[in-house]
Amino acid sequence: MSSVAGLVGYGSLAAYSASKGGVRLLTKAVALHCARKGYNIRCNSVHPSFVETPMLQSIFTGARTPEKMQASCITAAPLGRLAQPIEVAWTILFLASDESAFTTGAELVVDGGLTAA
């Protein structure tokens, strides 16, 4: 699991962005290593944006202006809403399935279009 912060970086979350960027490149390195060794192991990363979870709700609650922060997260995605946890889970399920048998070293972005803008 990574985050869109590992793709675009956030100045106010430098350590978080760096750690998620590290996950991104570690994923690619592991995918190449396993493929070259002939292991039957695939490695991919999932990069969600703002997901409606207790963790995100606690961030909103701790903000100086919770409603404004929540609104900015909602409008950050062109789809105009927060992701639901099940939407991220479906992406992971795809990666765990035989349908993704030729997918390795990939970054699957689950962000409602945030990084496309």
The model carries a pTM of 0.93
pLDDT tens-digit series, residues 70-110? 999 999 999 999 999 999 999 999 999 999 999 999 999 99
Judged against a pLDDT cut of 90, whether residue 9 lies above it is answered with no
Alpha-carbon span 31 to 62, nearest angstrom: 38
**Residue-range domain boundaries for the chain:** 5-116
- Categorize the per-residue pLDDT at 117 as very low, low, confident or very high, splitting at 50, 70 and 90: confident
Which helix (H) or strand (E) element contains residue 20?
Answer: helix 14-37
Q: From residue 102, how far is each of 23, 26, 31, 33, 98 by CA, in Å?
A: 20, 19, 11, 15, 9
SS (H, E, C) 30-96: HHHHHHHHCCCCCCCEEEECCECCHHHHHHHHHCCCHHHHHHHHHHHCCCCCCECHHHHHHHHHHHH
In the residue annotation, 39 being an active-site residue is answered as no
Alpha-carbon span 14 to 8, nearest angstrom: 11
At 36 the pLDDT is 98
Which helix (H) or strand (E) element contains residue 25?
Answer: helix 14-37
More confident of the two residues 31 and 9: 31
pLDDT tens-digit series, residues 57-66? 999 999 999 9
Alpha-carbon span 36 to 91, nearest angstrom: 25
At 12 the pLDDT is 87
Architecture of the domain whose range is 5-116:
3-Layer(aba) Sandwich (3.40)
Query: Which of these is catalytic: 8, 9, 16, 34?
Result: 16
pLDDT tens-digit series, residues 15-48? 999 999 999 999 999 999 999 999 999 999 999 9
